[in-house]
Copies of this chain bind each other. A is one copy, B any other.
Amino acid sequence: MTGRDEATLSPGDTIGVLGSGQLGRMLSLAAARLGLKTHIFCPESGPAFDVCAARTRAAYDDDAALSSFAASVKLVTYEFENVPAHTAAFLAARVPVHPNPFALETAQDRLVEKTFINGLGIATAPFAPVDDLAGLVAALDRLGRPAILKTRRMGYDGKGQAMIRPGDDPAVALAAMGGHAAILEGFVPFTREVSVVAARGRDGGFAAFDLNENEHADHILSVTRAPAAVAPATAAAAMDIARRIADALDYVGVIAVEMFVVVENGVERLVVNEIAPRVHNSGHWTIDGAQTSQFEQHVRAVAGMPLGSPRIRGRVEMRNLIGADALDWRALMAEPGVYLHLYGKHEARPGRKMGHLTRVIEP
């Protein structure tokens, strides 16, 4: 509903959320702090269903269900970037959708995303679209090896990716794409992975949390530390990049921008990896370690409320509890200084995000 006048939400109003995972759950908990209700819409039952005022279990192409959902809420937001374009458009015709569908479309397709970012004069990994084996071979000639072949859409946590090293058969990597449109990305010899989690309000106001430094294991975020151990100028440059991206998307809500830090001749340089148009795992520490959590900040932004202070309370470490990690909950609860969060998922399957913990070292 871009361009239409929008009322600020008031306590008692209901926010619609697409997706019933842990991000929707933590959004619901944050909305509740501010006296707002949530209505969760998802094809599958999930942990957000346990903490919301209303829930709809229906497919994302069920227009009747979407229509009732839209009628029951003041605005719609979402916890994941793969909201189908039809769903976003259908809802946006009825009720404000934040972040806007343009941000969704941009973030959903790696080719569109990188083209958009480069268009702002911001560096990404070198890339080339790949439609077939001949195209892949040509792209490899141009970008060199190693390189990473990825599906353009629907990839997350390393799914839909294949590394192509010297000697590897490109056809094997291409087959791994399962016939989906792909993109080849040149290898970036990074020293650190960082992310900016920031909010942009309806009035264009911008508030970034301290820069996150991220460690992955098996392509899944394992640990985030904030503030990141980079030069102050690098942190400032990262904030500037995130702000330019958010401004260009006319973004409202919390956005995460993942970046690589590359060191060349002793100087740090930033290369954007990807945008997440939503609250982000690397911002979970803000619940316990910042004046305002990323979840409350997202709610404030989309609801047209004043942004809160993103001030960090010390040095912070967030650790994901993946699969069986969460079975140690009792010992973790007893550990002094640990803030434990469990998502209420029934089964601790390998690779599944079951919870996280935060440690705050106050100054």
Contact = CB atoms under 8 A, between A and B. Distances in A.
A51 interface: yes
Contact of A341 (B28, B33, B305): B33
B309 A333 contact: no
Contact of A340 (B34, B51, B344): B34
A333 B300 CA distance: 9
Contacts of A343: 35
A221 interface: no
A8 B334 CA distance: 14
A8 B345 CA distance: 18
Identical chains in the assembly: 2
A306 B334 contact: yes
A36 B342 CA distance: 8
Contact of A362 (B313, B334, B342, B345): B313
B37 A33 contact: no
A337 interface: yes
A344 B313 contact: no
B326 A11 contact: yes
Given A51-B53, A305-B330, A33 B342 contact: yes
Interface in A1-57: 8, 10-12, 25, 28-29, 32-37, 49-53
13 contacts: A8-B330, A11-B342, A12-B345, A12-B346, A29-B32, A32-B50, A34-B341, A35-B329, A35-B342, A300-B333, A306-B330, A309-B336, A362-B362
CB-based closest 8 A-B pairs: A35-B342, A306-B334, A50-B53, A35-B344, A11-B342, A32-B51, A306-B333, A37-B50
Interface of A: 8, 10-12, 25, 28-29, 32-37, 49-53, 291, 300, 305-306, 308-309, 313, 326, 329-330, 333-334, 336-337, 339-346, 355, 362
